[in-house]
Structure 1
């Protein structure tokens, strides 16, 4: 089966990333730190899965840094916290990655992942599709497909996490033009690493993309707007002390009493 991501090309793209391009990685790491501060728990054996160790090790200096390869270098049951740091969108098997993180947790350990979601680069996708259809009548894979929050949240349940939760944090970044956006994506280490990526593209194509982008998605001061959606996934390794849903019929009071209303019985079917 053909894999979505070419890992060798992804490594080369990341090797060309720059410190200036790490602002979204840094923002994600700081947001994860803030969210962990809201959890009433002290973690003593954390691990971070990431393709950008310099960024995440600065924010989590006591964590074990693990490359985001297909098989994660995580010891089963060794950690009370596993963070997947803004690289899960490139995984060929995201469910497998989350399952491996789950296995690495001790009972009642916490998983917190962040990844780019489906609204990321929505403007660029739309403009590229319009230009390519107009020029060739078809579409080529140019921007990585990314999951929607409902589907991504379901991955936590499939992986066996208790109390799963998912939420979205979109942000808008403005650029001088589409060429500046594409330059920034390379600086982020987020270039096209898909296995079935488009081949050679003439510069006239990108010039047309830039012109259409400026017309369709303008921002203040003659700039353009680009959306980056971060989706956060959280769940706990099951443990007997955790909250569990009540069994059907086990409520101590009627719903009508709780709402302060009268209960009306429906007639039975004849």
Structure 2
């Protein structure tokens, strides 16, 4: 499967990085990077070597300290972006930067204790292959933590452009890149061999004066469409029609328009014998049919455990004899 033009995406991101005001478009990626770093700190462990895959402008890396990771490798496919990427504010973290394509891993097997990726994997053509490479690069009991755009991202923009193009031109083309669905992400992680999966979603709505400001910000982020079947030109009349449709269907009372960004967060672990294992089938002692009275079941189980424990505690005799 070859959906995205990786060279076009690299060029788009480098153009965004060469802007003098590139930093003002980082608001969304900085927010997601902050939330992803919180998930790193939620793991009660200090990682020796970590990888920030598709680091962008250091949206995750800048939040990391030596309490999280001792040594960090920051990599990105764009040299211009990597040059301006923020290193960890904690200077005691050993950090190095490498130009690396997410689709081609140059790392040796079992090189990292943690691999992080924030909002870069949605441009990868072969997610199954990339996940398998991440798995190989992790040491046993290593963790993969990532965030990527989900399928509901920019549904308002997608629908408005399609309706506007149908109205003005009698048909429509793809103007918003396809995104992964949450059910597919879980299946791909399982296929790559990850265990103890945690996958959840979040939605962020950002309001803009009109559709034109939204599209300008997407270009400033380097997130404009890079699919092979993208249409390279939009007619002026189509743009104005789509903008009017956007405001009519989704507009707020104050005249602004909302843009939805669905974020999929995922955590997967490389298998290791030290990890907890699920119980065998049939060993459970609580049936799902009793879920409606869970409080009662837990109370009865607790009382039975207390009684059993009380019987096992030896009680000394008053006459100095042996315990009974």
TM superposition score normalised by structure 1: 0.89
Q: Structure 2: which 5+ residue stretches go unaligned?
A: 17-21, 66-70, 78-100, 298-324
Question: Please, what is the CA RMSD of the aligned residues?
Answer: 2.0
1:180 aligns with 2:213: yes
How many Å separate the matches in 2 of 1:214 and 1:188?
23
1:50 aligns with 2:34: no
1:200 CA drift (Å): 2.2
How many Å separate the matches in 1 of 2:139 and 2:116?
14
Residue in structure 1 matched with residue 175 of structure 2 by the alignment: 142
Match of 1:221, SS? coil
1:86 aligns with 2:119: yes
Residue in structure 1 matched with residue 268 of structure 2 by the alignment: 235
Residue in structure 2 matched with residue 268 of structure 1 by the alignment: none
1:59 CA drift (Å): 2.8
Contact 1:47–1:64 (CA<8 Å) still a contact in 2?
A: yes
User: Mapping of 1:1-270 within 5 angstroms?
Assistant: 3-17=2-16, 18-50=22-54, 52-60=56-64, 62-67=71-76, 69=101, 70-251=103-284, 253=285, 255=287
1:138 CA drift (Å): 2.5
Write out per-residue CA displacement over residues 216-244 of structure 1, whole angstroms, 9 at most, x where no aligned residue: 11124211000011111111000111122
1:177 CA drift (Å): 0.3
How many Å separate the matches in 1 of 2:35 and 2:113?
19
How many Å separate the matches in 2 of 1:231 and 1:160?
19
**Distance verdict in 2 for CA 1:112–1:218, change over 3 Å:** same
How many Å separate the matches in 2 of 1:75 and 1:30?
29
How many aligned residue pairs are there? 259
1:152 CA drift (Å): 1.4
**Higher relative contact order (Cα pairs below 8 Å, separated by 6+ residues):** 1
**Distance verdict in 2 for CA 1:60–1:37, change over 3 Å:** closer
Q: Which moved more, 1:90-99 or 1:46-55?
A: 46-55
How many Å separate the matches in 1 of 2:234 and 2:194?
44
Contact 2:55–2:74 (CA<8 Å) still a contact in 1?
A: no
Contact 2:199–2:266 (CA<8 Å) still a contact in 1?
A: yes
TM superposition score normalised by structure 2: 0.75
1:181 CA drift (Å): 0.3
Contact 1:16–1:186 (CA<8 Å) still a contact in 2?
A: no
Q: Structure 1: which 5+ residue stretches go unaligned?
A: 262-270
Contact 1:50–1:56 (CA<8 Å) still a contact in 2?
A: no
1:257 CA drift (Å): 8.8
Write out per-residue CA displacement over residues 139-173 of structure 1, whole angstroms, 9 at most, x where no aligned residue: 21210011111111221111100111211011100
Write out per-residue CA displacement over residues 89-142 of structure 1, whole angstroms, 9 at most, x where no aligned residue: 110011111111111111000100110111110100111111122233332121
Residue in structure 2 matched with residue 264 of structure 1 by the alignment: none
